[in-house]
Amino acid sequence: MNGFGSFWRDRRVFVTGCTGLLGSWTVRSLLSRGAHVVGLVRDNTPGSDLVRSGDIRRIDVVRGRLENQKLLERALAEYEIETVMHLGAQTIVGTAVRSPVATFDANIRGTWTLLEAVRRVGRAVHIVVASSDKAYGAQDDLPYREAAPLLARHPYDVSKACADMIALSYHATYGLPVCVTRCGNFFGGGDLNWNRIVPGTIRSVLRGERPVVRSDGTPTRDYLYAADGAEAYLHLAECMAEDRSVWGEAFNFSTETPLSALDVVRRVMVAMGEVGEPEVRNEASHEIPHQFLSAEKARRLLGWRPRFRTFDDAVPDTVAWYRGFINGFDDDILTPERIAA
């Protein structure tokens, strides 16, 4: 994907949200390249793939919350951090609707606290901030392009739009080397939020149950394999170190193949050899009908392309991970080496 060679060897990287789906994959990719990873961990999450794989024992762990600026300043200074992967957030749309203040605290305050800590430490730290396609809100002009306005309206979407703009403001005002990523729905082994469509469908099939679609099945979304997401974040950070012109930019990462919720469930079922139809409940609220991204800017300026070009390419590995997880076989956990094989 790039020619940076030993760029990450011994590089000191601070990862927020390291126990989450994307965080676990990102840490794994960094460790495979020889990086010195420092992870911010708020809660004990024994089901996290970072914990189950043993990778948490290979990193330095800082215990605490994103909103604790003194803690962040200490960690950034004492570990002499060179790159920050800011993946920490409250990521569930339904939770944001039920608990907007907690979501705003984690996603908005947590972002400005981290950026301010970097500014106050005064080191030349490259920062990749995870926003979301939800920041764009509902728009008629699709696919989303980075120049589109951020029209978020509901709590989760607004929290990501605010974090997005705050991050770019720290570059525009203080010159911090910041880039923002906007991605669609991540999926892959390690996602234990069973309300999400991919893990929920796989678990239902493995249990002999009928998969559930919470919406009416028509909303379309981008789906990006978590391994590709992790590689995209690393690739962007490498480009930031080589080319200052990308600082202060936002980038969409996408396979550019949007799928409806019903199509996703059916594709997973087919991959698992399952026949029949899911149960469509049509009970979801505050959902944007159609969201999908153009990745043209990332291709043009970063030379980025996903390894898994389609959803169907990544489903077999994802299903294999969950079969192993549900059956209790940790040796089925996928690694970057197995993915590359």
Residues recognised as catalytic: 156
- Phi first, then psi: what are they for 169, rounded to 5°? -70, -30
Residue with tokens 């009928």: 210
Distance from the first to the final alpha carbon of the chain = 15
Q: Please, which residues have CB within 8 angstroms of residue 300's CB and are 6 or more apart in sequence?
A: none
How many angstroms separate the Cα of 208 from the Cα of each of 211, 219, 277, 317? Answer: 9, 26, 13, 20
| Strand 259-260, strand 220-221: pairing | antiparallel
Element spanning 130, H or E: strand 126-130
Q: Six-digit token pair at 1?
A: 């994907």
The verdict on whether omega for the bond into residue 100 sits within 30 degrees of 0, i.e. cis, is: no
Bridge partners, residue 37, by sequence: 13
**Tokens representing residue 92 in the block:** 């569930």
CB 159 within 8 A of CB 95: no
Query: Cα separation of 66 and 180, whole Å?
Result: 18
Copy the structure tokens of residue 146: 């980075």
Residue 335, amino acid: T
Structure tokens belonging to residue 320? 């294999």
| Size (the chain), residues | 341
Kindly write down the DSSP assignment for every residue of 192-207, as one continuous string: --TTSHHHHHHHHHHT
Cα distances (angstroms) measured from residue 232 to each of 1, 28, 180, 298, 339: 10, 14, 12, 9, 15
